[in-house]
Amino acid sequence: MRGGRACASRAAARPLPEGKDRAAVSEAGQDETAHWPRSARRGPDEQPADEAADFEDTIFDDHDIRDDWNTSYAWRREMWSQPWWKDRITGGIGSYWIYQHLGNMSPQDRASDPLLAKLREASDTTGDAGAVLDEFAERADKEPASTRWSYAHDWGGTRLIVVDSRCSRLLTADRRGMLDDEEFDWLDGQCQGGMDHLLIASSLPYLLPMAIHHAESWNEAVAGGAWGKRGAGVGEKIRQAADLEHWAAFERSFRDVAADVIAVGRGERGPAPASISFLSGDIHYSYLARVTEPLPAAGEAREGARPADPVADDRGPLVPQRHRDRRAVRARLQRALGESARRRPPQRDGPREHHLSPRRDGPRPGKRKSRPKCMTVSGQATTMRETRKGFE
């Protein structure tokens, strides 16, 4: 990961290709040569050849740094006690800033970015901007509110909001949130009506199957001391061993986002969009889901989630009845566990999920391989289709 820092001064000093709206997205640490993708290197009069698009938007997840990055306050304390962690976190965040975050920024934001200006100045004066990037990366980890990685783009009547659900987590001895206060205030301001479609992307799925949701919610309560100090220790071990750190494991953050989305869908923040969609991945489990409670009234937006990790596909209506029965029993057990840990069940007016069946020729249980899914937005309509060779 530190290989990216070696070329910090060179990448910072190199001007962005004229007329391009996206910077490089490259594999960090391969060599010391910062290079732009073909869409940025080709001349303005050349055709894009076989490129699928001229740009892509990105956001990092745990494996950009380390498995289960920022799972909890206890996890952070353990990592910072390791002698190798400082180099890992500064190298990882610095590499991400160069190779991905610059490309997420608009040309105007890049031109006014203070860190980019400092890197160029250090490159011009000393020939090495590594120390400047290290200082920034360490502060971004220790003080999440100092940097906003989330961003938003409007394309016609569609707004895409990409939420950082890793580096911006609020993890202290007495507070726990998926986003720090500043990051959530920004997200709250972006969740507005007046658009045809509102897309909210997060590396972690917002709506999970109910059994998993209740398990993570229960675990957060136990690890937080609902069953006493000894129970908290056991709960933390379970959390880290089972990767229980999705939105459901940050209940207050989950409810805050739900309140925002429901307000937008009900038209309380301007005209309701035709649809509100969550886009995510991470869980090696591909599915479509829709919010069934509260039901949208006439003129209100329909809400749903579309995790697109193409590894396994749990198509509820395609699973035999005995499997659905088992899943229902597990959901009830998890709900009972949550209540026993004094965790409130999801509010009646909060979002709940329901699996959809986009086709009837799906795989049988035990062989649930899925294909990548491609979402198309046109006017006030959205469609989701599977592709045979990846996204089209």
Domain annotation covers residue 48: no
29-38, 64-73, 115-124, 279-288: least confident range: 29-38
| Cα 247 to the center of its chain, rounded Å | 10
Residue 291: the pLDDT is: 78
Domain annotation covers residue 392: no
Residue 282: the pLDDT is: 77
Instruction: Name the helix (H) or strand (E) containing 371.
Output: none
Share of the chain above pLDDT 70, in %: 60
Query: What's the pLDDT band for 268 if we cut at 50, 70, 90?
Result: very high
Domain annotation covers residue 379: no
Residue 256: the pLDDT is: 94
Residues 279 and 353 in one domain: yes
Residues 95 and 169 in one domain: no
Share of the chain above pLDDT 90, in %: 46
Query: What's the pLDDT band for 280 if we cut at 50, 70, 90?
Result: confident
Residues 160 and 214 in one domain: yes
Domain annotation covers residue 12: yes
Domain annotation covers residue 284: yes
pTM of the model: 0.71
Residue 348: the pLDDT is: 40
The answer, yes or no, to whether residue 68 has pLDDT greater than 80, is yes
- Note if the bond before 346 is cis, omega within 30 degrees: no
Residue 305: the pLDDT is: 60
Domain annotation covers residue 47: no
pLDDT digits (tens, 9 = 90+) for 131-149: 999 999 999 999 999 999 9
Residue 57: the pLDDT is: 77
Query: What's the pLDDT band for 284 if we cut at 50, 70, 90?
Result: confident
pLDDT digits (tens, 9 = 90+) for 358-380: 333 333 334 344 455 566 666 66
Residues 137 and 229 in one domain: no
φ/ψ region of 321 (left if φ > 0, alpha if ψ in -120 to 50, else beta) reads alpha
Residues 312 and 214 in one domain: yes
Cα three-residue angle 28-23-70, rounded to 5 degrees: 50
What is the 3-state composition of the chain as percent helix, strand, coil, each rounded to the nearest 5?
40, 15, 45
Residues 269 and 357 in one domain: yes
Residues 94 and 187 in one domain: no
Q: Which strand ranges, in their side-by-side order, compose the sheet holding 302-307?
A: 151-155, 158-163, 197-202, 275-280, 302-307, 289-291, 353-355
Domain annotation covers residue 324: yes
Domain annotation covers residue 391: no
Nearest to 253 by CA among 185, 312, 314: 185
Residue in this structure with the two tokens 């040309």, named with its chain if needed: 107
Collect all residues with Cβ–Cβ distance below 8 Å to 67 and sequence separation of at least 6.
Answer: none
Domain coverage including residue 361: 149-372
C-alpha span between 167 and 164 (Å, rounded): 7
C-alpha span between 47 and 188 (Å, rounded): 40
pLDDT digits (tens, 9 = 90+) for 83-133: 999 999 999 999 999 999 998 988 889 999 999 999 999 999 998 899 999
Query: Mean pLDDT across the stretch 63-92?
Result: 94
Q: What is the mean pLDDT of the chain?
A: 74
Nearest to 305 by CA among 239, 368, 342, 258: 258
Overall number of domains in the chain? 2
Residues 274 and 311 in one domain: yes
Residue 343: the pLDDT is: 57
Residues 231 and 127 in one domain: no
The answer, yes or no, to whether residue 350 has pLDDT greater than 70, is no
Higher pLDDT, 307 or 13: 307
Query: Mean pLDDT across the stretch 243-271?
Result: 93
Residues 160 and 75 in one domain: no
The answer, yes or no, to whether residue 35 has pLDDT greater than 90, is no
pLDDT digits (tens, 9 = 90+) for 197-235: 999 999 898 988 888 889 999 999 999 999 999 999 999
Residues 131 and 203 in one domain: no
Residues 96 and 172 in one domain: no
